[in-house]
Structures are given as structure tokens and as C-alpha cells.
Amino acid sequence: MRTWPREAATSGAVTHTNHRDLVQVKRAYKFRAYPTRPQEGRAARLLADHCDLYNAALEERREAWRMRRVSVSYGVQSAQLREIRKADPGGHGRHSFTAQQQTLRRLNTVFTAFYQRARAGKAGYPRFKPHSRFDQVMFVAGDGAKWIPTSGESWARAAFQAVGAVKVRQHRPVCGMVKTLQLKREHRRWYVIVVAEAEPVPLPATGREIGIDVGVNRFLTTSDGEIVANPRFLAASSAVIADLQRRKARAMPVSGNRKRLRRALAKHWRKARNRRRDFHHKTARALINSSGVIAVEKLNIAAMTRRPAPKPDGEGGYLPNRAAAKAGLNKVILDAGWAQFAGILAAKAAEAGRHVVFVNPAGTSITCHACGQRCGRPRQDTVICPCCGRWDADVNGARNIYARAGLGSGQATQTA
């Protein structure tokens, strides 16, 4: 349901559009915004109006589907929008037309996914959104919204029709042509997401080509033996979060204490997310600077989002195991990271004219990279090949990924 608009700042998503023969790279920047009181009121009203529009358009599609099994297209609804605006100049009519179209497109995306699921036979019908859950509106730059970057000392500003020019903390420069601006609310904070399109700036060539293995014990290992450890702060924050979750579970429902704990939890999750993203950006930056081609394993999203298996107690129930709960939490924090890291790596590669190759990871952890035989794995960090002997499990995996990307035999990297 809530997959649009994509938050490329956190997912690191990258898209290409062919403009003559230049490949343009889209990049999202997420900045904290500081609306004044009146601006905040108007921004909340903007979200509410867009939410109403979304729900009204949903209602129409819902009825058409219920009564006649027909789908109402985006084009039809966009044409109706003109009439709605004309009839309500003080309400819907005062908002940006193109921004409203974006909201209708967003609904269209939800419905496209619904029809796909319906064909597969298992469809939950798209639901109405309460005002509290409708938290972003996308504007097309130059049409109801304008990006005014900072000139150094002063604040950057993002101007939105029916809201005003909102102060923005611009912590890094925006490169290229600004395409869209999103105004977003997260709990009590406001953000502006600026999406800009620029030509990639190729980095100087380097001879290094690597495969990467991501693991549980280490964050990553390269085929030439470089190791990036898991940052300690992740374990630290998962301990804090686990503690807060326990306390929240024990707190009285609907109490002030529970509310405080919920806020504290949200804050720690946000901090953990931010620090992890930061770590991913730095790690990806270093790899992109040093390597021309990077092979990584293709993600298995389904396996990654699967919850850790509960522990049966032998009597039809499950053991409430604190250690297991914490291990599960650790896993969640680390796992959520890999998809994000791969996205950031791919985005940085596109910007720098580097290549990231995704390969099927099946068997890469247990096959000997040198001779291809199946290895034993007596310990998490070691594999033993019947002919070649002992390998570091992660380096072996990275070399298999390297070889699978067609970069070489994997053996060639042994001495590096």
C-alpha cells in the first residue's frame, strides 16, 4: 500500500533515463524542513486535502469495481480533477494541479498492484487512508513547487503552493536538475525530498575488480581479502531497543508511561536507521572509489523479510526466549541493511560510471572457489574443501561471487 512515492534517499534507488545518448542518473536528497507554525498548519491541511482527494478517487474506483467490475483509469480521474477544481476554487482548486495528479498516480500504482494480486487470486482491496497515515505529497519542480538552494550562510528553502517557502537544512549540495519535491511528515518532523537528475561524473579508472560476500559475522568481505566489520553501534542500539520493547510490553495500556516509551522507541529506531545508512554510504563510497567492477549477490527479499523461526517448547507452545528475541532483533537490524547497502552501492556506481554486477548466490558459500567441490563447514567462519583444504568462509564466498560475475576464476585473486 505505502510503497509510493519511493523514498530513494533511504533505499538508494536509482533510475536511468536516456537523454540522447547520455545516461542521466536520478538521485534523491532528504532534508529536514522547519516550517513555521502557520506553514505547518497549511502543510497539514495540504496533506489532509490530498488525502481526501485520494480517498474520493478510491471510492469512485471501488464503486465502479463493485457495481460493474470495471476499472477507472488514471486518465479518466485526471480529467475529472479539472471539474472538481473548477467547482471548488477555495478548496481543491487552490492546490497545485500537477501535485494532485501525482496523488492520483499514486492511487493508480496501488490499483495496478491490486489487479495483479487479483489475477493471482489473493487480493485485499485497496483501503481508505486516514488523515494520520497520509504523510507525503509529491510536487513537480517548477509547477507549484520550487527549490531555492542555500547560498552558504542562509537557509535553503522549498516553496510549495498553498504552504509557502519552508526553511530547509541543506546538509549537502544538490547536483543537477531538480525534478520533483516531496513534502513529507514523519511523526512530528517534516522533511523535503529533492529528486534531481544529473549526468554521471566518471571516476578515474582503477584496476581493481572485486566480489563481495555479505555475512552475519562481518558486514562484508571482498574477494581480495578486505574485511569490513559490523559496526558496533548496531549491536548497542539493538540492546537499547530490546530493553525499551520489554518495558513497553509491561507498561499499562493507554498510559503516559507507555506513550513515552513508544516515543523513545521510535527515536531509537530512527537513530539506528540513520547511523546504519551513514555507515552504508561511507562503506559504499570507499568501495566505489577503489574498484571499477563490484560483484555482489542478488538479493532474496522474500528470505530476508521472513521472520526468524520461533522456538517450539515441545508441548505445542513456544518458548519466550529473551536471547532469541534479541538475536532476532539483531538480525532484523543487520538484514534490513543489506538491501539498502546494495541500493546505495548501485546508485553510487551509476553516478561514478562504475559497474555493479548482481549474481545468483546459490551455493557460493559452500562451493570451493578453487576447484568447485562441495566443502564442509565445521564452523560458521571456515569451509574445508576435500582437496584444497581450509578457507575463510567469507573470502571463499566472495571469490565465488567474483567468478560468477565472469570476472575471473576466483583463483586469480588469491594472492592479492
- The residue ranges that bind Zn ion (CB under 5 A) are 368, 370-371, 385, 387-388
Residue whose CB is less far from Zn ion, 180 or 400: 400
Min dist CB 386 to Zn ion, Å, is: 7
For residue 84, the number of C-alpha atoms closer than 13 Å in the C-beta half-sphere is 20
**Residue 293 falls in which region: left (phi positive, over 0), alpha (psi -120 to 50) or beta:** beta
CB of 388 vs Zn ion, minimal distance in Å:
3
147 Rama class: left (phi>0) / alpha (psi -120 to 50) / beta: beta
Q: Smaller CB distance to Zn ion: residue 221 or 396?
A: 396
Considering the complex, state which of residue 357 and residue 375 has its C-beta at the smaller distance from Zn ion. Answer: 375
DSSP string, 354-370: -EEEEE--TTTTTB-TT
Of 290 and 411, nearer to Zn ion (C-beta) is 411
Rounded-to-10 torsion of CA 241, 244, 248, 254: -90
> Which residues lie across from 312 on neighbouring strands?
318
Between CA 275 and CA 77 the distance in angstroms is 42
Q: Closest separation between CB of residue 227 and Zn ion, Å? A: 22
Q: In whole angstroms, what is the distance from residue 102 CA to residue 309 CA?
A: 40
Phi, psi of 55 (to 5 degrees): -70, -40
CB nearer to Zn ion: pick between 284 and 368: 368
Q: How far is the CB of 11 from Zn ion (least distance, A)?
A: 38
Q: CA 99 to CA 54: how far, in whole Å?
A: 12
Q: Whole-angstrom Cα distance, residue 286 to residue 55?
A: 45
Of 111 and 391, the one with the shorter C-beta distance to Zn ion is 391
Closer CB to Zn ion, 46 or 383, in the complex: 383
Q: Select 239 or 387, whichever has its Cβ closest to Zn ion.
A: 387
61: Cα separation from own chain's centroid: 29
Minimum CB separation of residue 313 from Zn ion in Å reads 42
Minimum gap (Å) between residue 372 Cβ and Zn ion? 7
Q: Given the complex with Zn ion, which of 55 and 400 has the nearer CB atom? A: 400
Q: Least Å distance between CB 212 and Zn ion?
A: 21
Q: How far is the CB of 387 from Zn ion (least distance, A)?
A: 5
Residue type at 403?
A
Alpha-helical regions (H) of 88-159:
97-119
Class of residue 60 by CB neighbours under 10 A (exposed 0-12, middle 13-18, buried 19+): middle
Residue whose C-alpha cell reads 573470502 in the numeric block: 395
Pull the grid cell for residue 60: 469512485
In angstroms, give the least distance from the CB of 410 to Zn ion.
11
Question: Residues 179, 197: contact at Cβ < 8 Å?
Answer: yes
